[in-house]
């Protein structure tokens, strides 16, 4: 697995997505900005009105002017409450929409990248990015709008001080560089620690998902304690970065706590001098005191900047998710044909190493090809390329003369069916799992396919038969494989690829499934072309053609009976040193009547 930390170039992909989000959310961001600004403006007007109210009450407590000012103050206070509520509502809605958009976008991209999506990131890390980091990044539009609106309050406070008396603004401005320096250092330190913190979170999630997937192995090996230590290994770094974030916030708060009162006292001292000089009224002094507080609204700015930094850092973590491009499909339908599969000079590179090279192969329509070879020889890679679960790094794969990338998504997926060694049961219910495909298979077809895959008997014994939820169905490895086979059988198509899909079946069931496979599958008008990754000699014996892979190259191709003459080929299935002890089911032709082809 490649490194999960993003490079600068990749980080820009995350920034790009964030910019897209900001453009999309312009309307909602503007609404938040307007309401926040209106709220800030009302907040700014309130001290002035309160000051005037005080002056009017001191001059004539029962006069009409005092009544008007009191009413004005009450009106502004109520408006402030309404605007704050509206701000919360708009912010919450805008965040929910942005987060949903981001998650949908990332999920679509991840699923379109297909099996490649998991190349760079462990599943847990990927999920953390799609769920947790998307939630943080999705608040960027409102965080930006609120941060911009939050600038209005200190700037407005400063302007108001200047309007009351220019000397007050000057006293405030003298201390401003100190505030700016504190803010700059806050943003720099927070960005770094947030990025490291989120990285450690992803690491822990990735390890945890690995541990959950391997729970049986861990229990059997008795290494639960060691595994716990492995999963939590990034915890000290997480804790270090968490503490560092708190320290940065604490330092900024301490700076603010030291600078802000000094600035306010400076403004108040100047205001007091101006009052004694007769240049200010008592009400103006009250307003100046309040504006000095608003002008030093650094606390609010720090909070907004913090939110913005977290959003941007989280967005940068989408870079490795976006780095695997989504699979592109062509525009061609599949022309009439019998399902001839052709591989021309196919090469595949994995982990910087060629694991398949120079593979040339033609499987005539309706025929069965068995792919054999020792473990790691490239069989599953070939099976993945044959059905375009991956694209070759060189050469071409064609179905009925059309290169697979030129086919539309629907044409490709309707033409090619797959069954795997460990199928995922994704259909909700057992019946839904078998029906799962580009066009859901009708119930009658589901049952027919289950019979062909020797699954019908055990499905009928489940509490609700085909309607049993997958989560509530305790299935063995062999039963799960049979459901995967049934899913592949339930759909029409020209090519069927079985990647080790019968490895957990007992010999009798495997023989029955193989017979169904070599005949006409349910619903099929003619025999499908089949590619079967096989470990058993009996399976190879039933195929029309066998391709024998060794170290990613075709060592030989032909009929099993002919290849069996070669000692190297026999050694793929039978250990020459212990052949006398070999299980008869592993020896070709041992189960009688399986030579069909």
Ligand X SMILES: Nc1ncnc2c1ncn2[C@@H]1O[C@H](COP(=O)(O)OP(=O)(O)OP(=O)(O)O)[C@@H](O)[C@H]1O
Separation between Cα atoms, residue 555 and residue 561, nearest integer Å = 16
Tokens representing 110 are 């991840």
b/e per residue, 345-354, with b = 16+ CB within 10 A?
ebbbeeeeeb
Give the DSSP H/E element, type plus range, for residue 55.
Answer: helix 26-59
In the bound complex, what is the minimum distance in angstroms from residue 351's beta carbon to ligand X? Answer: 3
Closer to ligand X by CB, 66 or 485: give it: 485
Q: Does 378 bind ligand X (CB under 6 A)?
A: yes
Helices (H) and strands (E) in the chain, counts: 24, 10
The helix/strand/coil state of 535 is coil
- Candidate list 5, 249, 380, 507; residue touching ligand X; CB under 6 A: 380
CB of 353 to ligand X, least distance (A): 7
Instruction: Report 313-372 residues binding ligand X (CB under 6 A).
Output: 350-351, 355
Segments in 175-214 forming alpha helices (H): 176-213
Question: Could you tell me if 488 and 438 are in contact, meaning their C-beta atoms sit under 8 angstroms apart?
Answer: no
In the complex with ligand X, which residue's Cβ is closer, 120 or 528? 120
Cα 289 to chain centroid distance, Å, stands at 50
Of 476, 416, 479, 425, which is closest to residue 453 (Cα–Cα)?
A: 479
* Contact window for ligand X (CB under 6 A) among 52-60, 378-386, 423-431, 572-580: 378-386
3-state secondary structure of 331: coil
Cβ distance to ligand X smaller for residue 204 or 572: 572
User: Closer CB to ligand X, residue 382 or residue 475?
Assistant: 382
CB 408 within 8 A of CB 402: no
Residue closer to ligand X by CB (options 126, 149) is: 126
Backbone angles phi, psi at 125, to 5 degrees: -65, -40
Biggest CA-to-CA distance, the chain: 118
Shortest reach from residue 555's CB to ligand X, in Å: 13
Single residue of 376, 401, 443, 519 touching ligand X by CB under 6 A: 376
**Closer to ligand X by Cβ: residue 157 or 378:** 378
Q: Choose which of 139, 377, 481, 502 interacts with ligand X (CB under 6 A).
A: 377
Instruction: Check: CB of residue 329 under 8 Å from CB of residue 405.
Output: yes
Least CB distance to ligand X at residue 349 (A): 9
The piece of 87-95, 184-192, 210-218, 376-384 that touches ligand X (CB under 6 A) is 376-384
- Of these, 379, 482, 542, 560, which contacts ligand X (CB under 6 A)? 379
Site map (CB under 6 A) of ligand X, residues 159-198, x = contact: ----------------------------------------
DSSP tag of 586: G
- Judged by DSSP in three states, 361 sits in strand
Least distance (Å) between residue 450 CB and ligand X? 26
Pick between residue 32 and residue 416 the one whose CB is nearest to ligand X.
Answer: 416
Distance CA 407, CA 425 (A): 27
Q: How far apart are CA 567 and CA 565, in angstroms?
A: 6
Q: Which is nearer to ligand X, 244 or 553 (CB)?
A: 553
- Select the span of 375-383, 409-417, 438-446, 560-568 touching ligand X (CB under 6 A): 375-383
Whichever of 376 and 442 has its CB closer to ligand X, that residue is 376
Least distance in angstroms from the C-beta of 121 to ligand X: 13
Contact predicate 219/256, CB 8 Å: no
Cα–Cα distance, 83 to 234 (Å, whole number) = 44
Q: How far is the CB of 377 from ligand X (least distance, A)?
A: 4
- The single residue among 3, 276, 331, 375 that binds ligand X, judged by CB under 6 A, is 375
The gap from C-alpha 545 to its chain's centroid, in whole angstroms, comes to 41
The answer to whether the beta carbons of residues 62 and 178 sit under 8 Å apart is: no
Smallest distance from the beta carbon of 366 to ligand X, in angstroms?
Answer: 25
CB 420, min distance to ligand X, A: 11
Minimum CB distance to ligand X smaller for 200 or for 357 = 357
CB 376 to ligand X: min, Å: 4
Smallest separation, CB 380 to ligand X (Å): 3
Residue, CB closest to ligand X: 351
Closest CA to 102 of 126, 66, 135: 135
Q: Min. distance of Cβ 389 from ligand X in angstroms?
A: 12
**Distance of alpha carbon 8 from alpha carbon 11, whole angstroms:** 5
Could you give the CA distance from residue 31 to residue 94 in angstroms, rounded to a whole number?
9
Q: In terms of CB distance, is 145 or 534 closer to ligand X?
A: 534
User: 429 or 502, CB closer to ligand X?
Assistant: 502
Smallest gap from Cβ 350 to ligand X, in A, equals 3
What is residue 130's DSSP assignment?
Answer: I
The vertex-469 CA angle with 465 and 471, nearest 5°, equals: 130
Supply the DSSP symbol for 131.
Answer: I
- How far apart are CB 552 and ligand X at their closest, in Å? 7
588, HSE (Cβ side, Cα atoms, 13 Å): 23
Residue placing its CB nearer to ligand X in the complex, 206 or 283: 206
Taking the CB of residue 258, how many other CB atoms lie within 10 A of it? 11
- Per the listing, tokens 């694209």 go with 391
Q: Which is nearer to ligand X, 222 or 352 (CB)?
A: 352
Size of the site for ligand X (CB under 6 A): 11
Contacting residues toward ligand X, per CB under 6 A? 350-351, 355, 373, 375-381
């Amino acid at each position: 697995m490649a490194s999960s930390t993003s490079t600068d170039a990749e980080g820009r992909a995350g920034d790009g997505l964030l910019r897209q989000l900001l453009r999309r959310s312009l309307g909602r961001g503007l609404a938040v900005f307007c309401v926040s600004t209106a709220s800030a403006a009302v907040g700014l007007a309130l001290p002035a009105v309160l000051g005037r109210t005080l002056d009017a009450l001191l001059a004539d407590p029962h006069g009409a002017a005092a009544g008007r000012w009191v009413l004005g103050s009450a009106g502004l206070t109520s408006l402030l409450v309404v605007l704050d509520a509206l701000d919360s509502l708009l912010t919450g809605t805008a965040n929910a929409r942005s987060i949903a958009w981001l998650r949908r976008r990332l999920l679509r991209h991840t699923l379109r990248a297909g099996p490649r999506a998991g190349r760079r990131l462990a599943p847990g890390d990927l999920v953390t990015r799609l769920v947790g980091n998307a939630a943080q990044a999705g608040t960027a539009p409102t965080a930006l709008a609120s941060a911009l609106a939050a600038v209005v309050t200190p700037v407005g406070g400063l302007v108001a001080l200047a309007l009351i008396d220019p000397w007050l603004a000057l006293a405030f401005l003298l201390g401003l560089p100190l505030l700016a320096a504190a803010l700059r250092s806050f943003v720099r330190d927070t960005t770094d620690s947030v990025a490291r913190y989120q990285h450690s979170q992803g690491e822990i999630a990735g390890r945890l998902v690995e541990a959950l997937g391997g729970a049986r192995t861990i229990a059997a090996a008795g290494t639960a304690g060691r595994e716990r230590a492995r999963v939590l290994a990034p915890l000290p770094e997480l804790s270090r970065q968490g503490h560092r974030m708190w320290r940065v916030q604490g330092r900024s708060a301490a700076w603010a706590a030291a600078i802000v009162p000094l600035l306010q006292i400076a403004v108040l001292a100047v205001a007091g001098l101006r009052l004694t000089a007769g240049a200010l009224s008592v009400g103006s002094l009250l307003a100046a005191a309040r504006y000095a507080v608003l002008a030093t609204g650094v606390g609010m700015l720090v909070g907004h900047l913090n939110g913005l930094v977290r959003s941007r850092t989280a967005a940068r973590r989408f870079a490795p998710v976006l780095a695997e491009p989504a699979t592109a499909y062509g525009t061609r339908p599949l022309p009439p044909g019998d399902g001839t599969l052709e591989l021309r000079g196919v090469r595949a590179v994995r982990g910087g190493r060629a694991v398949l090279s120079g593979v040339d192969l033609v499987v005539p329509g309706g025929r069965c090809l068995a792919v054999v070879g020792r473990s790691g020889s490239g069989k599953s890679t070939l099976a993945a390329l044959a059905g375009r679960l991956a694209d070759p790094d060189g050469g071409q794969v064609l179905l009925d003369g059309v290169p697979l990338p030129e086919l539309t998504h629907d044409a490709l997926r309707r033409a090619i069916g797959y069954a795997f060694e460990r199928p995922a049961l994704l259909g909700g219910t057992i019946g839904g799992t078998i029906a799962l495909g580009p066009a859901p298979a009708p119930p009658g077809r589901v049952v027919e396919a289950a019979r062909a895959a020797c699954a019908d008997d055990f499905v009928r014994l489940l509490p609700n038969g085909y309607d049993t939820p997958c989560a509530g169905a305790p299935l063995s490895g062999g039963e799960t494989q049979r459901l995967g086979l049934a899913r592949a059988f339930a759909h029409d198509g020209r090519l069927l690829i079985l990647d080790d899909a019968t490895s957990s079946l007992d010999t009798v069931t495997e023989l029955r499934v193989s017979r169904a496979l070599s005949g006409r599958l349910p619903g099929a008008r003619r025999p499908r072309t089949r590619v079967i990754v096989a470990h058993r000699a009996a399976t190879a014996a039933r195929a029309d053609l066998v391709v024998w892979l060794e170290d990613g190259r075709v060592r030989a191709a032909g009929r099993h009976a002919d290849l069996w003459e070669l000692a190297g080929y026999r050694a793929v299935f039978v250990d020459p040193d212990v052949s006398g002890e070999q299980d008869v089911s592993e020896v070709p032709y041992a189960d009688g009547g399986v030579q069909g082809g």
